[in-house]
Amino acid sequence: MREAVVFIHGIWMCGTEMALLRRRVAAAGYTVHQFSYPSLRASPALNAARLDSFLHDIDADLIHLVAHSLGGLVLCHLFHDFPAQRPGRVLMLGTPLRGSVVARGLARWPLTRLLLGRAIEQALLGDGPGWPGARPLGMIAGNRGMLGMGLLVAGRVPRPHDGTVAVVETDTAAVSEHLQVPYSHFGMLFARPVADAVCRFLASGRLAP
């Protein structure tokens, strides 16, 4: 059976930052793809429609989805608007499913609100579609954030956190597998133990060793 893994990046990113994680997953025997999208210029709902078209062009029987941060909220829109997806596992890294206290802080002021662009439309403020429960959802959350966007521009993030997203913001009743790791919001993308956990989840649906 042909398996592919599609990676979806977060806000302000383009996917380059996920290259090492992609290589490590590819080394485990998976065909990998990167979906890049305009995180500020288009809403998560519109980017979900673009992702749906992207997925249609992939030649595989199983398509696993691995999303970082805002990318996970794009996935919520994908399964809400386009539920007829091919089977596969879904894993999010540092996605604020409950909404982001950082985004709410930035959105309070016109100047800093511009930093979020259209990413706040039914997404980062916690007003987007929840995970529909069509399939099990895994989440990896960092809890070692000494410094990050949240601490710099939006005040105190509830502890524990990864410097940008609080652990509590990543955990809902829809999350079937939740793993905390001692890394920051972006540091988790480069950590070997996180890549190992991703590969375990893709193979078995379990995050813990």
- Of 34-38, 47-51, 130-134, 193-197, the range with the lowest mean pLDDT is 130-134
> What pLDDT is recorded for position 162?
94
Question: What gap in Å lies between CA 63 and CA 59, rounded to an integer?
Answer: 9
Domain count, the chain: 1
- Residue 99 · residue 165 · CB < 8 Å: no
- What would the mean pLDDT of 95-104 be, rounded to a whole number? 94
Question: For residue 184, is it within any domain?
Answer: yes
Question: For residue 154, is it within any domain?
Answer: yes
> What pLDDT is recorded for position 147?
61
The predicted-structure confidence for 22-57, as pLDDT tens digits, reads as follows 999 999 999 999 999 999 999 999 999 999 999 999
Question: For residue 18, is it within any domain?
Answer: yes
Banded model confidence at residue 145, pLDDT cuts 50, 70, 90: confident
Question: For residue 129, is it within any domain?
Answer: yes
- Residue 102 · residue 154 · CB < 8 Å: yes
- What would the mean pLDDT of 126-146 be, rounded to a whole number? 91
Does pLDDT of 64 surpass 80? yes
Banded model confidence at residue 202, pLDDT cuts 50, 70, 90: very high
Question: For residue 125, is it within any domain?
Answer: yes
Report the percent of the chain where pLDDT is more than 90: 84
Q: Which domain holds residue 39?
A: 3-204
Question: For residue 53, is it within any domain?
Answer: yes
Question: For residue 209, is it within any domain?
Answer: no
Structure tokens at 150: 């949240």
| Mean pLDDT, all residues of the chain | 94
> What pLDDT is recorded for position 105?
86
Which strands form 62-68's sheet, in the order they lie side by side? 31-35, 3-8, 62-68, 90-93, 137-142, 175-181
Question: For residue 187, is it within any domain?
Answer: yes
> What pLDDT is recorded for position 155?
58
Helices (H), the chain: 19-27, 44-56, 70-81, 101-107, 110-113, 149-153, 167-170, 192-204
> What pLDDT is recorded for position 153?
57
Does pLDDT of 128 surpass 60? yes
Report the percent of the chain where pLDDT is more than 70: 95
Q: What is the CATH number of the domain that holds 118?
A: 3.40.50.1820
Banded model confidence at residue 121, pLDDT cuts 50, 70, 90: very high
